[in-house]
Chain A
Amino acid sequence: DGGITQSPKYLFRKEGQNVTLSCEQNLNHDAMYWYRQDPGQGLRLIYYSQIVNDFQKGDIAEGYSVSREKKESFPLTVTSAQKNPTAFYLCASSPRGPGANVLTFGAGSRLTVL
């Protein structure tokens, strides 16, 4: 089945540690996105990538980093510089052309900083 796989589903981190969230898609989509979800604030865009080896900052990129070395993979690193990293993180992808912006989402990764 085609889809997006995010791992791990739950992650606990101590303050000062970097963590990397995995996002893999087998939909052959060109574009991939990372969103952060907090209660009452909806989804906020962290980073997105329209093609391999290129990515752009979203609205809340500070304290995060990404890479896009392969079309199917878009990992997100939450660094120790992120002041309030506890949140639900959602990865999404979309095709280009007529289907653009119809995002397919993964099931999410919940990060808790202890």
Chain B
Amino acid sequence: AQSVAQPEDQVNVAEGNPLTVKCTYSVSGNPYLFWYVQYPNRGLQFLLKYITGDNLVKGSYGFEAEFNKSQTSFHLKKPSALVSDSALYFCAVRVESYNTDKLIFGTGTRLQVFP
């Protein structure tokens, strides 16, 4: 089955420290991978995506993600966390077939950045 997993329900980090939010995936074929962020009582916002090319993808708000095919991972990273980065983060993978084209989302990881 095609799926995406976020093993951590919550990640805590001090402001100014680097942060990592983990994501692993299971898909057939080449993966299309995405990260979205959700602020309280709001919809999700697109951060970045990996389709092909460089394994390190840069996105919005200083975030980047590293695609690792051998480990089937797509971890979200930021060199220096801000308190305003505190939010819920979702990893997603594209599932495509002859009659299907949709995203499957992980369960989300809550990022808490402490001043």
Known: A105-B43, A108-B42. Is A48-B102 also a contact (CB below 8 A)? Answer: yes
> Which A18-62 residues have C-beta < 8 A from chain B?
31, 33, 35, 40-45, 48, 50, 56, 58
Stretch of A68-76, A77-85, A95-103 lying at the B interface: A95-103
Answer whether residue A63 sits at the interface, using C-beta atoms and an 8 A cutoff. Answer: no
Contacts of B13 in A (CB 8 A): none
Q: Assess the B101–A101 pair: CB atoms within 8 A.
A: yes
Interface membership of chain B positions 20-50, coded 1 if the CB is closer than 8 angstroms to chain A and 0 otherwise: 0000000000001010100001111110010
Nearest CB of B to A58, in Å: 7
Interface membership of chain B positions 86-115, coded 1 if the CB is closer than 8 angstroms to chain A and 0 otherwise: 000010001000011111111110000000
Q: How far is the CA of A31 from the CA of B102 in the complex (A)?
A: 10
Please report the total number of A residues contacting B with Cβ < 8 Å: 27
Which of A103, A106, A107 is within 8 Å of B103, CB to CB? A103
Answer whether residue B9 sits at the interface, using C-beta atoms and an 8 A cutoff. Answer: yes
Which of B46, B99, B106 is within 8 Å of A56, CB to CB? B99
Known: A90-B44, A101-B32, A103-B46. Is A45-B9 also a contact (CB below 8 A)? Answer: no
Q: Assess the B43–A92 pair: CB atoms within 8 A.
A: yes
Supply 20 further A-B pairs (C-beta < 8 A) apart from A40-B9, A105-B43, A107-B41.
A4-B43, A6-B43, A31-B101, A40-B107, A42-B106, A42-B108, A44-B105, A56-B99, A56-B100, A58-B102, A90-B43, A92-B44, A101-B32, A101-B103, A102-B34, A103-B46, A104-B46, A105-B44, A105-B45, A108-B43
Residues in chain A within 8 A of chain B (CB atoms)? 4, 6, 31, 33, 35, 40-45, 48, 50, 56, 58, 90, 92, 100-108, 110
**20 residue pairs A–B, Cβ–Cβ below 8 Å:** A40-B9, A40-B107, A42-B107, A42-B108, A43-B44, A43-B90, A44-B105, A50-B101, A90-B44, A92-B43, A92-B44, A101-B32, A101-B49, A102-B46, A103-B46, A105-B44, A105-B45, A106-B43, A107-B43, A110-B41
